[in-house]
Structure 1
């Protein structure tokens, strides 16, 4: 009997493989049709599933499915979710340009966090400014510290954070540190293990090495959050890595981070509290912001609110926020990002603004840390530059800064890149700000970066050798997966 079965398999192996391929690819394709909202992404997945027997389906089930959205809605208690969610506008918008009033109305419909007045947002350029401020805040902590970082290397710089957090724990401060399940693997020495040995409470968000969570291997918590005592917060794009100390790094990474004070701290801390609950099922009672005596020397004029995004109940919040702001642009749009591979919807919004006569400038690195992204960007540049949009290549080794500035009033800062991973797969946090002074300071930062950048000329891309054009456009096909 076994011999007859073996002979049958040998004789009919082509038909058997074909049947297995159909039996796997057909339900996979149906799942794509039912649960993927983006038509271009759906078509790309179906093509991969059909044209790559078995492998395409395996790739989709590992990387293409989002189970987080339903899980997050079930896990997070409704009373907790409603605690700091708002549906009204708690700030006076009369001093803002009139065209932005409707943007706030739409903004509240997009994401139910109020616009809050009375905040200060201060930029910290590179690790030389960001890390000492963050470590000093940890040393000054009296009650509670929460810290989340996509990458927390246990290098010489990371060890300073480990020591500061451990010292805070020893003097009685409550400390919670959240690591991304994939990002923690960037360092061969694990910072979470070092902290655990010193008694500091840590957790991993979607641990990649767990057999029960391998289905989440393509989802990352990309947020960078530090809140201390409900009094000060730090957020932006900087990971904890010695390469951000650009003056001494072998492979320097430019970046920008921000100090935040004011009532919006409560929204920042809530994002961490929700992430910690998702990872541990444990609630954190983090201190709420308490206004202090008014400081007349440094007016807290920034109207701000948090925009959180991820493949959960907050899916697409950042994309819609950007589209809403671009629709209000009247004079200038300035974008700085390490990866600029926007989808068709965002690109249409940018082109629509350019057609209205809005000046649009985009700064990307001349060379990022991922060549595949650079090739995809090169393939897209002729399309991006349509209708007068100007693209600049920053000549610095690698600039990881992320800011978006519109007109002289609106600023968007945080952890989000302009690519499919950030906008669809990652858990991100950004701050939407209205303030002319902050916008002017960041515009100065943008202008300084532009002085070290080269304007991309369309002929430079069109004059590339044919093999590079093929490579670049082949890379562009995979942008839905990047």
Structure 2
């Protein structure tokens, strides 16, 4: 007891020295980590300043939110035999169905992400949950062997309960079911859907649980992928979470979105992304059924050449950013972009401006109001820079449009879970489909046009008339855009 009292007394006398020594030690360690692993000079300087001038708190904030890379054991330990069919260090497959001016982009794309382009796929747009959810649940109900589902948000509402029931019924009839939910995204719903599934015997896992002591420093790294694969016969990818708000016709706070039903050999690439994520989260290897040619669902369009591109703050870092830059270089007539959050970095913005300077029509549709006000302020601060060199941006009048598509010319499209912001391109695990097909592009162009017709163009006069206090607010928040 006496020793304890002496210890407390010593701390009371030297507490200032202890804090100073602790601050210096932690600051040096944090600053060295910034210097070694941060690539952006301005971001590095900002972090070092925060670490030095905010004793202890700055370092804590950096280790919680500043780390944007992890090393995943999945790439090292996952059996390579599962990758051999579509991961190839050699030159890409020859594709004869695309214009000659895209051939160099195919070679560059394969160097960016050495996954083969595969033909004979169908990629069918499903607008809003009113179209997507019934198709997804029907596929789950028809499953015979295996279901894998990954989602950022899986609300345990009336719509989420339909998925819980369908997945549980599949499990009861002997189908293997694996459900992977993001460790932070699961918190959007008060009632946790994974708990409901576990009670019914369905196997679930959380990706980087936020409350885990071993992964708390990665709290800013989220699995934003939305994947549903059934039996190797059909898959669904896109930007749509599982929530009744996506059932636009009946939702109180509707969210517009677009999802995609996929059949064809590219399903193997999609399911493999899930398998790697599942192994990372659980340490468990799964062998999802491979696509078999004679199981293609009869559709009107099986002409899509496609491949899955995964991106994340790991070995796949920057693959989607480079894929976008590569495609923008090839644009000859038009670039159409829909995204809920448009805060591109300087490299992507320069690529868009370069396309516009070549005479390419560059049009971007964003929500008039998103679900994150300070992101709207940052986008508004960037409007004057965006519309330079002929780039056009439109604000959608819908309550909130979460759709994510990129359509270039009449041949190339990019669909999936990725937004045009630092959060998505730097910190999130994402999956997109890179597609070559004129019919698909025609559908997506028509979808884009319908959104554009319900939008208002951003003009220089509107920007100039913005009150000074809003301009100050917007530009203040713009300073934090690398972290949003």
Q: Which among 440, 448, 459 is matched to residue 446 of structure 1?
A: 448
Q: Secondary structure at the match of 1:292?
A: helix
Q: Measured at CA, do residues 296 and 192 of structure 1 come closer, stay the same or move farther in structure 2, by a change above 3 Å?
A: closer
Q: Where in structure 1 are there 5+ consecutive unaligned residues?
A: none
Q: Which residue of 1 aligns with 2:209?
A: 207
State yes or no: 1:472 paired with 2:474. Answer: yes
Aligned to 1:330: 332
Q: 1:400 aligns with which of 399, 402, 406?
A: 402
Superposed CA RMSD: 2.0
What is the aligned partner in structure 2 of residue 169 from structure 1? 171
| Contact 2:74–2:276 (CA under 8 A) maintained in structure 1 | no
Per the alignment, do residues 343 and 295 of structure 1 end up closer, same or farther by CA in structure 2, a change over 3 Å counting?
Answer: closer
2:223 corresponds to 1:221: yes
1:94-109 pair list within 5 angstroms: 94-109=96-111
- Between the aligned partners of 1:269 and 1:137, the Cα distance in structure 2 is 15
1:429 to 2:402 alignment = no
Deviation at 1:129, TM superposition (A): 0.1
1:126 maps to which residue?
128
Cα shift at 1:80: 4.2
| In structure 1, C-alpha distance between the alignment counterparts of 2:359 and 2:59, rounded to whole Å | 45
Instruction: Name the counterpart of 2:300.
Output: 298
Assess, with a 3 A threshold, how the Cα gap between structure 1 residues 270 and 354 changes in structure 2: closer, same or farther: same
Displacement after TM superposition at 1:4 (Å): 8.0
Aligned residue-pair number = 479
Q: What is residue 3 of structure 2 aligned with on the other side?
A: none
**CA-CA distance at 1:50 after TM superposition:** 2.7
Q: Distance in 2 between matches of 1:293 and 1:358?
A: 41
1:67-82 alignment, distance < 5 Å: 68-69=70-71, 71-82=73-84
Pairing 1:142-291 to 2, within 5 Å after superposition: 142-291=144-293
| 3-state SS of 1:46 partner | helix
Deviation at 1:298, TM superposition (A): 2.4
Calculate the TM-score normalised by the size of structure 2.
Answer: 0.95
Distance 1:403 1:3, change over 3 A: closer
TM (normalized to structure 1)? Answer: 0.95
Instruction: Assess if the C-alpha contact under 8 Å between 2:233 and 2:297 holds in 1.
Output: no
CA contact (8 A) 1:153 1:240 kept: yes
Q: Secondary structure at the match of 1:363?
A: strand
Aligned mates of 1:370, 1:293 — CA distance in 2? 42
Contact 2:233-2:296 at 8 Å conserved across structures? no
Cα 1:40–1:272 change in 2 (3 A) is same
Task: Call closer, same or farther: CA 1:472–1:256 in 2, change over 3 Å.
Answer: same
Report if the CA contact (8 A) 2:92-2:110 is conserved: no
Q: In the alignment, which residue of structure 1 is the partner of 2:459?
A: 457
Tell me, which stretches of 5 or more residues in structure 2 are unaligned? 1-5
SS at match of 1:221: coil
Equivalent residue number for residue 307 of structure 1? 309
Between 1:455-464 and 1:63-72, the stretch displaced more is: 63-72
The residue matched to 1:412 in structure 2 has which SS? strand
Change (3 A) 1:420 1:159: same
1:40 maps to which residue? 42
Q: Which of 100, 105, 117 is matched with 2:119 structurally?
A: 117
**Structure 1 position 168, deviation (Å):** 0.6
Query: What secondary structure is seen at the aligned counterpart in 1 of 2:482?
Result: coil
State the distance in 1 between where 2:305 and 2:374 align: 38
Q: Return closer, same or farther for 1:407/1:275 CA change in 2, 3 Å cut-off.
A: same
Between the aligned partners of 1:105 and 1:474, the Cα distance in structure 2 is 41
